[in-house]
Structure 1
Amino acid sequence: MRAAGLQLAAVLVLIAAVSGGSQAEVIDDILGSLSRAASFLERQHEHINLDGVLGYFMMQAELKEAIRTWPHSDPVSWAQRTTAVALAKRLDQSLEKAVTAVQQNDPKYYREFEPVLSWSFYVIPQTWRATDPSLVYSSTMTNECYDEQLGDKCLTLLLGTWKMNGTPCIVTKPCRDTMTRFGCPHYSLSHQLLYFMIGKMKGCTNLLKGDTRASRANMTEHSYKKIFCSNMMKANQDLIRDGLTEQMADIFMENILMCGMAGFSDFYKADWLQQILRRQDEEVGCFGRDKSIISQIIGDELLEELQPHRRVKRREKILPDGCSSHTTGVAVGAVGGYLNYYLTEQDITKRPLS
């Protein structure tokens, strides 16, 4: 218990040192960021693609969990909760409009992923654990080892949307082999984790059933999550060490979003939050905005249509104002996770497991 108390104190000191203020001020910063992102969604709900909308649903799930468990500590905290409640109501309205637009703009993709287009699908961590540096791969492939088309198929087999009224929780050998492959980098790694997370949230059991490899005999779903997030932690640390570029910020934030939601609290570093917040466009509220790219949008979208699987970052869409739909989605989901985690830190019954 004393160790947990020291850990909490260290976190609070770090937050104050990085933000120049108290935890209440950090939560104000988070709520302000999420509010600006909500305003962006309200304006652009007709154009944000499914992947961007998914990030907002994750944010909404985290926001609603934060509201449910908000500490009744002081008037400032309670005023912040009131702000969060109003924000959640705004999101309910704009997400409903955004889902309708996705259904009209991309009906096949919508049908395949309809089950995850609800905040109630997502399970927010109730306890926390840390990654393990000893699980980092000795070597990592230089190229992605994840095929987007196969990946989408594997997810629809879990969700039961591979056909009308399809049976859910189906795991084929190609899916299992792909999702348990070691040494994958970047988006391949985060999508392997996503597979296990969606399987759990859908209520699928025995995702590893049928794996006869002796070397994997004692592996559980949690084992894979810990391996993946330990490697995603190493990837993020390397990105920070080398100087986080705009090109790599998307995967950096996706790792925080995914592993934070998987319950790994060491992704919620205070300086990493600042890395995310400073990438929000003050003018329009999105993330990943490149004003110089606006004139290139038509050409980029044409190239995307000609080569729909040229990258594993799912279906990216650059919006008319130069904003990235995917980057905005992962950023708001990651920031929402910080809110829930920092509030958990105030609750002595929900501190990280040592």
Structure 2
Amino acid sequence: MRASWLPLTAVLALVARAEMIDDVLSSLSRGADFLEGQHEHINLDGVVGYLMLQAELKAAVQTWPHSDPVSWGQRSSAVGLIRRLDQSLERAVSALRQSEPNYYREFEPLLTWRFWSVPGSWITTDSSLVYSSTLSSECYDEQLSDKCLTLLLGTWKQNGTPCIVTKPCRDMMTRFGCPFYSLSHQLLYFMIGGMKGCTNLLKGDTRASRVNMTERSYQTIFCSNMMKTNQDILRDGLSALNADIFMENILVCGLAGFSDFYKVDWLQHIFRLQDVEVGCFGRDRNVVSERIGEELLEQLQPHHRVKRREKVLHDGCSSHMTGVAVGALGGFLNYYLQEQDITKRPLS
């Protein structure tokens, strides 16, 4: 083992890292099991979370360390996981095309792992940027938020021009003092704009107080407040009601390159939230019996709109929370591979 010449503390750190990566891969394997069984039913948000995971895994195997047989065996496990996800995600995206054709058309650019870029460098949040007060309720409109994203993506009409920023979109996405999901939507807006290749999203903002603000400035403000949200959640007690936003903050801020969201104890919280039986997250066993009645209602209302944000599956699992969780776990994997392995060298 190459680490034999290292100080004892370094060897112990490598062993702890290897065990942590084993745990992440094991959790992700159970998450892949769930996707294989439920690919026809997972909604758009859930599928996007798995696609973020796929991007993270593909980046990870390219930079996996040549350190020891254990590490190389873990890489082989990750490669196998990628193959499984490739097949399941192809079927899941195809099912979305059939079940939610309008949402599929509007968000099709997001429905490939190639869209999602993985951080190559890291920064941290800044507690001095935390709002002195926040609104008590969400301050974004879901329909307007979706419209703003389609304007960035160019899917607002057939062959639409991308990277359009309207004043209502800019005002909503740069508003300060917003809580919870509003923050993650604001952050995602800037992330998606950047990944789409849109430049100068802030053009036209004439407010003197914002003259020196950049896209990265807003991301840092949003993630600094999302960090405070997560700290408050843990202080008050992580529960089924706030676990989704807790993990969503880790997912999107981690993907934006904020390393301080990848805390070891936060990873342990995610592990504990996974259902050991079916591998999903946010499972409510009481839902299983209730689904029978809901299915009868849906048969009587064939034009009933499926809400994109959440979908409770037949086994009581949360589609959104499961996608968010596996995406967050993929972020942990990528971060620990990049930052924690002192014997790392890139694959040739």
Same fold flag (TM > 0.5): yes
Report the AA paired with residue 34 of structure 2: F
Match of 1:5 in 2: none
Partner in structure 2 of residue 83 of structure 1: 77
The 2-side partners of 1:22 and 1:222 are apart by 33
CA distance in 1, matches of 2:62, 2:82: 12
Partner of 1:51: 45
Q: Give, in angstroms, the shift of residue 178 of structure 1.
A: 0.2
Deviation at 1:150, TM superposition (A): 0.2
Q: 1:47: Cα distance to partner?
A: 0.5
Corresponding position of 2:246: 252
Q: What's 2:174 paired with?
A: 180
Q: How is 1:47-196 mapped onto 2 (pairs within 5 angstroms)? A: 47-196=41-190
Say yes or no: does 1:30 pair with 2:24.
yes
Q: Is the CA contact 2:151–2:164 (under 8 Å) kept in the aligned structure 1?
A: yes
Residue 339 (structure 2) pairs with residue 342 (structure 1) = no
2:310 is aligned to 316
| Counterpart residue number, 1:41 | 35
1:217 equivalenced with 2:191 (yes/no): no
Distance between the aligned counterparts of 2:134 and 2:216, measured in 1? 21
Separation (CA, whole Å) in 2 of partners of 1:65 and 1:55: 16
Whichever of the two has the greater Rg, that structure is 2
Separation (CA, whole Å) in 2 of partners of 1:231 and 1:79: 39
> Which amino acid is 1:101 matched to?
A
Q: Does 1:238 align with 2:232?
A: yes
Q: Is the 8 A contact 1:146 1:178 kept in 2?
A: yes
- Cα displacement string for residues 273-306 of structure 1 (whole angstroms, at most 9, x for unaligned residues): 0101111111101000010122334677979998
Deviations along 1:176-223, one digit per CA (max 9) or x if unpaired, are 000000000000010000000000000000100000000000000000
Q: In 2, distance between residues paired with 1:23 and 1:347?
A: 8
The letter of the residue matching 1:166 is G
Judge conservation of contact 2:153–2:196 (CA < 8 Å) in 1: yes
1:6 equivalent in structure 2: none
Query: Contact 2:67–2:343 at 8 Å: present in 1 too?
Result: no
**Which TM-score applies when normalising by structure 2?**
0.91
Indicate if the aligned counterparts of 1:71 and 1:346 stay in contact, CA closer than 8 A: no
Deviations along 1:305-331, one digit per CA (max 9) or x if unpaired, are 98988xxxx521000000000000000
RMSD: 2.2
1:22 offset after TM fit, Å? 1.3
User: How does the TM-score come out when normalised to structure 1?
Assistant: 0.89
Structure 1 match to 2:272: 278
Residue 235 (structure 1) shift? 0.3
Q: Which amino acid aligns with 2:65?
A: P
Residue segments in structure 1 that go unaligned for 5+ positions in a row: 1-8
Superposition pairs of residues 291-310 of structure 1, within 5 angstroms: 291-297=285-291
Q: Which residue of 1 aligns with 2:4?
A: none
Query: What is the one-letter code of the residue matched to 1:212?
Result: T
Whether the 8 Å contact between 1:232 and 1:255 is mirrored in structure 2 is yes
1:265 partner amino acid: S
Aligned AA for 1:105?
A: S
| Structure 2 counterpart SS, 1:317 | coil
Distance of aligned partners of 1:216 and 1:298 in 2 relative to their CA distance in 1, 3 Å threshold: farther
Deviations 1:152-193 (A, max 9, x none): 000000000000000000000000000000000000010000
Q: How far apart, CA to CA, are the structure 1 residues paired with 2:164 and 2:294? A: 35
Q: Alignment identity in percent?
A: 73
